[in-house]
Structure 1
């Protein structure tokens, strides 16, 4: 295979150029080149083979130069630049060999220092066409590799950007959680030391889950257990008027979800509950979706968010859902005069 590529193919390339030129030229003047004197054809074919060897050698050297001189990056300008250099080298070569050959073989047909413009066009256009074709075939694997590398780099940059943004969102969320939890324990210590100790234990469990279980998806049962611990912790400082309903579907077990996506709705409910002090937290399976709902009454004056449903915790939740579940989630926020409703639908894996 290497012998064919190195020794046979260049000659065939040169002869292909020669026979294409002869076909176009002889068709135009109604001539059959095989009826000419043998030595003319022999000289032309020999020179064409030499052009083939030199062309392939120069092209391959240029390809090595391209790879060494310029980084592997697919771009329109890069292709044009390489083609201009390659075509220029090809034109110089064919004019150095074919033009003197044509003048010498047809010295008696026209002036020694002049050849017809039709011959000049054939000598330049046909080799240029084949040089471009060869370039396209020979460099296709290189440009495909550059394309794949570019795509990989773009995806890596996008993933790095998303990971950085997720870390930033989590960094915003952690202080918010710590403040609420510590504030809860602080008020409890004045009234119930034993209860405060239990709250600290629950708080440590919650913090451990946040610190060690955020990088990958987790079984939804782990997330629900975490929510239950958070609810128990928050109930210790809630009003005695609180009427709460918590219902988790028993079918929710090993389905994989990203952690800490349900918590902002629960935290928001405890923060802004008022009015009739009613709260309902449910999670259930619906087809291939996990549906998580939080509904709570609010004081008519103390609204949990503005009319657009914004707030730091919920804004972060929206962004995290967009990053982690693109086109695979639905977030519904309804903020009425004395009631707040939030729903997350996730397509689990």
Structure 2
């Protein structure tokens, strides 16, 4: 395809322009150029048109590269298109009047008014068609590449944020879990064994079972294990209410997406030690609503917190995310 575009297309382009001009002139004059003119003259004009087309299309492509250097590839603003078209029109008129019109002046009966009109109009129309085809494919390719690059950057940013969140979460979680098991070993060995089992399931999920996205049912099962492990190390005053919608099954979510809300709820709970954790499917807009509400300590630190941390201290953490219904 590139070989045809580079080496053969200009020849085809020149012949199409030549035959179009000749047929229109014959319509006006009543001549039949293939019969009433000498074949050597026709052959010379066709070869001249082919050579002229190679030169003209090379100049057009050079003009396109000039605009590509001045504007970003994905910028298809009207201002750019208008400038390119105006430059193309000027380039076409220059080439036709400098290289093509003198040819008509020295053949047949000289350059008549209809020769001037045809030589300036027909090639211009073909050059505009060539511009539309050549530039539309280039603009479309640049647009697609820009979208793909933007999508890649967005995905890389999300992956970085998730990895950063996991890196912050793992040491804190491991310390708390091991601390819980350590104290259970003195009081209740059976409970300690159950905690070890829950802890192993949590680690297996984190290390081996994670994909780009996971079913929300798998994520909620992980949360239940975590909640049970945290409940074992919490005060007996803790009043826990957990409600997970049965309709949450195959919807895809990011792994450990809800984990920070649950972990911070246990961390900042106080007062009456009420903790409510719920997940439900909103049929109206196909989103998952995950809500965590915990009672706050009687004495809240006055030190300023970031907005996200202050919302958690207030005891109401709520998020809604799109759910992919299979």
Q: TM-score, normalised by structure 2?
A: 0.69
For residues 80 and 66 of structure 1, the distance between their equivalents in structure 2, rounded to whole angstroms, comes to 11
Deviation of 1:179 (Å) = 3.5
The 5 Å alignment of 1:252-263 reads 252-263=248-259
* 1:241 corresponding residue in structure 2: 237
- SS in structure 1 of the partner of residue 308 of structure 2: coil
Alignment of 1:42-61 (within 5 A): 42=37, 49-58=46-55
Match of 2:292 in 1: 294
SS in structure 2 of the partner of residue 295 of structure 1: strand
CA distance 1:292–1:135, shift in 2 (3 Å): closer
- C-alpha separation between the residues in 2 aligned to 1:149 and 1:217? 25
Indicate whether 1:34 and 2:41 are aligned.
Answer: no
Name the CA shift for 1:304/1:227 in 2 (closer, same or farther; >3 Å): farther
Displacement of 1:210 after TM fit?
1.6
Residues 255, 56 of structure 1: alpha-carbon distance in 2 compared, 3 angstrom cutoff: same
CA contact (8 A) 2:268 2:313 kept: no
Change (3 A) 1:127 1:142: same
2:32 and 2:208 map into 1 onto residues whose CA distance is 88
Asked whether the 8 Å contact 1:14–1:51 carries over to 2, the reply is no
1:117 deviates by: 11
* Higher mean C-alpha deviation, range 212-221 or range 51-60: 51-60
For residues 22-74 of structure 1, give each alpha carbon's deviation from its aligned partner in whole angstroms, at most 9, with x where no partner exists.
69xxxxxxxx95179989x9589777644543344446667898999999955
- State the partner residue of 1:200: 196
Displacement of 1:120: 7.5
Partner SS state of residue 310, structure 1: helix
C-alpha distance in 1 between matches for 2:58 and 2:162: 48
Task: Give CA-to-partner distance per residue, 1:304-324, whole Å, 9 cap, x none.
Answer: 99676423xx9xxxxxxxxxx
Q: Can you give the 5+ residue segments of structure 1 that lack an aligned partner in the other structure?
A: 24-31, 108-114, 315-332
Shift of 1:141: 3.2
Structure 1 Cα separation of the partners of residues 103 and 259 of structure 2: 84
Q: Deviation of residue 258 (structure 1)?
A: 2.6
Instruction: Name the CA distance, whole Å, in 2 between partners of 1:235 and 1:14.
Output: 87
Distance 1:308 1:42 in 2: 88
Question: Any stretches of 5+ residues in structure 2 without a counterpart?
Answer: none
2:191 pairs with 1:216: no
Equivalent pairs counted in the alignment come to 307
C-alpha RMSD of matched pairs (Å):
4.8
Q: Structure 1's 258 and 150: CA in aligned 2 closer, same or farther, altered over 3 A?
A: closer
**TM-score (normalizing by structure 1):** 0.65
Cα distance, 1:124 vs structure 2: 5.6
1:1-349 to 2 correspondences below 5 Å: 10-17=14-21, 33-34=28-29, 42=37, 49-58=46-55, 73=73, 88=91, 91-92=94-95, 95-102=98-105, 127-128=123-124, 130-189=126-185, 191-192=187-188, 195-287=191-283, 288-302=286-300, 309-311=307-309, 336=314, 340-349=315-324
User: Comparing 81-90 with 268-277, which one deviates more in the overlay?
Assistant: 81-90
- Tell me: CA distance 1:14–1:305, structure 2 relative to 1, closer, same or farther (3 Å): farther
